[in-house]
Amino acid sequence: MKTLLRLLLKSQHQRNRSGPTQTENGMTLVELLVGAIMAFLIITPMLGFVVDMLNTDRREQVKSNTEQDLQAAADFISQDLSQAIYIYDNNPATTSTPTTNPTGIPAIKDQLPKPDNGTPILVFWKQQPRKNSVPFNPEVAKTVKPKDCDTNPGKCNDTYVLSLVAYYQIKETDSASIWCQPSGGTCPTRIARYEITDGIKNPDATSIADIYYSDTDTKDTQRRHRAFNTSFDFTKPTQNVTLPAELKNATSEVLVNYIDHGSGSILTPCTTALGNPTDPKTSTPIGEATLKVTDTEGRNSFYACVDTVRNIARVTLRGNSLRRSEPTNVLSSANNSAYFPTATVQVQGLGARGN
């Protein structure tokens, strides 16, 4: 009897230690499909919102960069123009008469640099300062030359030299060019600047042959550009402008890229912007065709309104910020005008030409 009780107790103890049988159940295929669909419905709109935010932020950033670049370019042009002595308009006259004289860029095109796909928009003569460049007197000049002025403070004076400045709108056609990035579509245009400068003249020269300092006495920035024509006369502003055979030595610097390549509308007619100027000899209004200088393809993204008589120029630039981030041929419209910022400056040259 005792043996039987021990067996029963031992068996019950073992069952208590083993515990209840556990079973494991996973998700069914239907539950997985429902979960995936719900995740898709929630995550997809969120991803679209994030992508849209990133695109908007990128567009606003390139728009801000374009606005800054345009304003910097406009400020540079304004400072450049402030020393203008004579600004060329668009008068195409090629023969002189008592009432019609050649005063415009069309009359001097053959005497200007000819970059590929480039159009001269703003061309003028200015006084270019050369600080600390001319020895005080012949005694100082015996030991100090213009190239030595920087290392001999107090022994040289400032001076001015005459410069011909030309701003071009250049259309890029090579999609692989650094000026056409991202590549593809129609490339933007850019503004480039040429300057052909006279050299520093020796105030103590005793003959015409010695009017310029020698190359051994000067630095590159103090020498006459090879295309500069010493026979130029302001009383005949379209003659002897440069030495055309030497224009191949003229080099340019790009002022700003991503100028609009489309033919957007002009902001303000030149006649209105310049106050309806009149010809002082005939008292007749000067027409828009004479005042406005633009490119040959009708783009209004870089143009100048010039009143040669009053030595005033109004310059307008329009950029294309969308082209900085998209390789597509996006044109300006009422819906995206915010991405085509403009900058305008109007300057009256402080210099004056002699008659």
DSSP state of 60: H
> Which carries the bigger pLDDT value, residue 30 or residue 158?
158
- The pLDDT assigned to 96 comes to 59
Average the pLDDT over each of 160-169, 285-294, 333-342 and give the range with the smallest value.
Answer: 333-342
Average the pLDDT over each of 31-35, 113-117, 145-149, 266-270 and give the range with the smallest value.
Answer: 31-35
- The pLDDT assigned to 4 comes to 46
Average the pLDDT over each of 4-13, 99-108, 217-226 and give the range with the smallest value.
Answer: 4-13
What's the number of CA atoms in the CB half-sphere (13 Å) around residue 173?
Answer: 4
How does pLDDT run across 111-150, given as a tens digit for each residue? 999 999 999 999 999 998 899 999 988 888 888 999 999 8
- The pLDDT assigned to 153 comes to 85
> What is the average per-residue pLDDT within 157-167?
94
Number of Cβ within a 10 Å radius of residue 211: 14
Q: How confident is residue 355, by pLDDT bands cut at 50, 70 and 90?
A: very low
CB distance 126 to 167 below 8 Å? no
Instruction: For the chain, give every domain's residue range.
Output: 49-348
Q: Is residue 56 scored above 90 in pLDDT?
A: no
- The pLDDT assigned to 19 comes to 52
- Dihedral through CA 71, CA 77, CA 82, CA 83, nearest 10? 150
How does pLDDT run across 58-67, given as a tens digit for each residue? 777 888 899 9
Q: How confident is residue 20, by pLDDT bands cut at 50, 70 and 90?
A: low
- The pLDDT assigned to 141 comes to 87
Measure the CA–CA gap between 7 and 80, rounded to whole angstroms: 114
Number of Cβ within a 10 Å radius of residue 202: 18
Q: Which two tokens stand for residue 292?
A: 């406005």
Average the pLDDT over each of 44-48, 63-67, 105-109, 224-228 and give the range with the smallest value.
Answer: 44-48
Q: Is residue 8 scored above 60 in pLDDT?
A: no
Q: Is residue 354 scored above 80 in pLDDT?
A: no
> What is the average per-residue pLDDT within 250-267?
89
Q: Is residue 91 scored above 70 in pLDDT?
A: yes
> What is the average per-residue pLDDT within 165-185?
91
- The pLDDT assigned to 17 comes to 53
C-alpha triplet 67, 168, 81: angle, nearest 5°: 70
Q: How confident is residue 81, by pLDDT bands cut at 50, 70 and 90?
A: very high
Q: Tell me the percentage of the chain whose pLDDT exceeds 70.
A: 85
> What is the average per-residue pLDDT within 245-268?
90
CB distance 325 to 314 below 8 Å? no
Q: Is residue 239 scored above 90 in pLDDT?
A: yes
What is residue 38's three-state secondary structure? Answer: helix
Tell me the pTM: 0.82
What is residue 286's three-state secondary structure? Answer: coil
Q: Is residue 29 scored above 60 in pLDDT?
A: yes
